[in-house]
Amino acid sequence: MSRVYNFSAGPSMLPEEVLKKAQEEMVEYPGAGMSVMEMSHRSKVYDDIIKETERLVRELMNVPDNYKVMFVQGGGSTQFAMVPMNLGTKCKAADYLITGQWAKKAAQEAEKYVKVNRIASSADKTFSYIPKPEASEFSPADEVDYCYICYNNTIYGTRYTELPKTDAVLVADISSNAMSEVIDVSKFGILFAGAQKNLGPAGVVLVIAREDLIGEPQEGTPTMLTYKTHADNDSLYNTPPTYAIYIFKLVLEWI
Ligand SMILES: Cc1ncc(COP(=O)(O)O)c(C=O)c1O
């Protein structure tokens, strides 16, 4: 076997130790008599797996106690809608910094649910830099529900080295830098990451949300797109992506 170095921006390399451990446990998870793929998400064995995954996320990212850790589906892209549907309830407006395709797509999606203020954009120079607006250029905190950034711009290789000077609740897409650098969770209202670049296989999305932001969403928001559904049910409202979460746990153990 000869494994290549895969620098793809899509699903990327997993540690070989993780793949080998998964291979060992694929057919029979120790003590369970079946594969993780086959077991009930309500079983004691699986409950231990998902709880340990959450514990490791909390430990490795130093997640404060007033934040919920959730495992949801739909890829990073579903968060582009979930964020405005769940947070855009008071002012029904949000600030967006357009630093690449993923921030652009997030803003376009958000526009279906809230008024989007594009505070700054680096589209003029093919997203080759991070714009740094002055504090006065952001909306006052009582006029927007949140300010949105894409922390690491996967396609262009640009990243924030200092956070925007906004007083609003900060929301960040960390799909391509989660657990690859220290992130001070307490500076954010919501952090989310599709797993497939840094954390595990595609199919699971990590969402870390400050508890006071997990309230009633906009009217008509589907149950599955409501953060409260997943927060109140410890990510077990419906069948979660059980195997993807198990591999995520192995990656966390490796980290
Ligand atoms: C920063 C960032 N956000 C969101 C996405 C979209 O994620 P998904 O394909 O899981 O919807 C990507 C995908 O590459 C990404 O790099």
The alpha carbon of 252 and the centre of ligand 1 are apart by a number of angstroms equal to 20
Concerning whether 232 is annotated as a catalytic residue, the answer is no
Q: State pLDDT tens for residues 143-174.
A: 999 999 999 999 899 999 999 999 999 999 99
Domains of the chain listed by start with CATH number:
50-254 (3.40.640.10)
Q: Give the pLDDT of residue 240.
A: 98
Where do runs of H (alpha helix) occur along 39-100?
44-61, 75-87
What number is the average pLDDT over the span 38-53? Answer: 98
What number is the average pLDDT over the span 9-28? Answer: 95
Question: Does ligand 1 have an atom closer than 6 angstroms to the CB of 201?
Answer: no
d(CA 186, CA 200): 24
Q: 82, 175, 204, 207: which to mutate for ligand 1, most atoms within 8 A of CB?
A: 175
φ/ψ of residue 152, rounded to 5: -130, 120
Confidence label for 7 from pLDDT (cuts 50, 70 and 90) = confident
Q: Assign 221 to helix, strand or coil.
A: coil
Structure tokens at 121: 């954009």
φ/ψ of residue 207, rounded to 5: -125, 130
Structure tokens at 236: 């077990």
The alpha carbon of 111 and the centre of ligand 1 are apart by a number of angstroms equal to 18
What number is the average pLDDT over the span 210-219? Answer: 98
What number is the average pLDDT over the span 239-247? Answer: 98
The alpha carbon of 177 and the centre of ligand 1 are apart by a number of angstroms equal to 11
Question: Does ligand 1 have an atom closer than 6 angstroms to the CB of 84?
Answer: no
- List 68, 95, 145, 197, catalytic entry: 197
Concerning whether 173 is annotated as a catalytic residue, the answer is yes
Q: Compute the mean pLDDT over every residue in the chain, rounded to the nearest whole number.
A: 97
The alpha carbon of 196 and the centre of ligand 1 are apart by a number of angstroms equal to 9
The alpha carbon of 203 and the centre of ligand 1 are apart by a number of angstroms equal to 12
Confidence label for 9 from pLDDT (cuts 50, 70 and 90) = confident
Concerning whether 20 is annotated as a catalytic residue, the answer is no
Structure tokens at 10: 């899509």
State which ligand 1 atom lies nearest to the alpha carbon of 10: 14
Q: Give the pLDDT of residue 10.
A: 86
- List 95, 102, 145, 249, catalytic entry: 102
State which ligand 1 atom lies nearest to the alpha carbon of 196: 10
Candidates 45, 46, 5; CA nearest to 244 is 46
Q: State pLDDT tens for residues 65-102.
A: 999 999 999 999 999 999 999 999 999 999 999 999 99
- List 68, 95, 145, 173, catalytic entry: 173
Residue of minimum CA distance from atom 14 in ligand 1 = 10
d(CA 201, CA 203): 6
Q: Assign 25 to helix, strand or coil.
A: helix
pTM across the whole model: 0.98
Where do runs of H (alpha helix) occur along the chain?
16-25, 44-61, 75-87, 101-110, 227-232, 242-254
Q: Give the pLDDT of residue 193.
A: 98
